[in-house]
Amino acid sequence: MIRCNTYEKVCHQIAVDISNKVKNENHLVLGLATGSTPIGIYKELVKMKPDFSKTITFNLDEYVGLEKTHDQSYHYFMNEHLFQYFDFEENYFPTKQNHNEYDILIKNCGGIDVQILGIGTNGHIAFNEPNSSRYSSTRIVDLTENTIKDNSRFFENIKDVPTQAYTMGLSSIMEAEEIYLVAVGRHKKEILEKSINGEITPEIPASYLQQHKKLKVYYSDR
């Protein structure tokens, strides 16, 4: 695990790595996360201005029932923090129309080269909630009360938080060539330790990442 003094250092280092990969690869497939954790990474990438014209992105998830234009949809989030600043080759999200074929689409694009992940306080990655199968595919999931409560800070009222989401499954996540797992804040420290050093169990989906050959874990208290 790589510990950094500040969140800014975490984000800068990951953005540098991604920018270098973009320079060195003819074609790159990025797996992207949403939520508060990756915002700093995207800010750093905007500053660095890599050429993403031959880069395809696959987002991990999207809420069920929110229009793309809703200010809490992940389409809106990604455009706000990253997509509006670059001309990517293509950007994909799991949706009602494509979630059954999302994993095939990823494979047809060559698989994910670099996957960015945050971690929930209950150990979920993407919206793969506790007791998700290691071999789960992209699907619609019911969000736990814990996740709904955690995400309610982004909404005016907890009743406005969607109760379902489309999520990339653990199978496609684990097939990524390289994974960056990022946790920020002392409230994430305990679940991060359990995930990377504890028992591998479906009760903590992030614990499956111990089986990944090229996992980089970044943590900052603040």
Catalytic annotation, residues: 61, 122, 124, 129
Rounded to a whole number of angstroms, the distance between the first and last alpha carbons of the chain is 16
Return the closest-CA partner of residue 115 out of 220, 217, 4, 26.
Answer: 217
The single-letter code of the amino acid at 108 is N
Unique residue bearing structure tokens 């993403």: 52
Query: Residue 188: phi, psi to the nearest 5?
Result: -100, -10
Around 158, how many Cα atoms within 13 Å sit in the side-chain half-sphere? 8
Helix axes 74-81, 39-48, angle to 10 degrees: 40
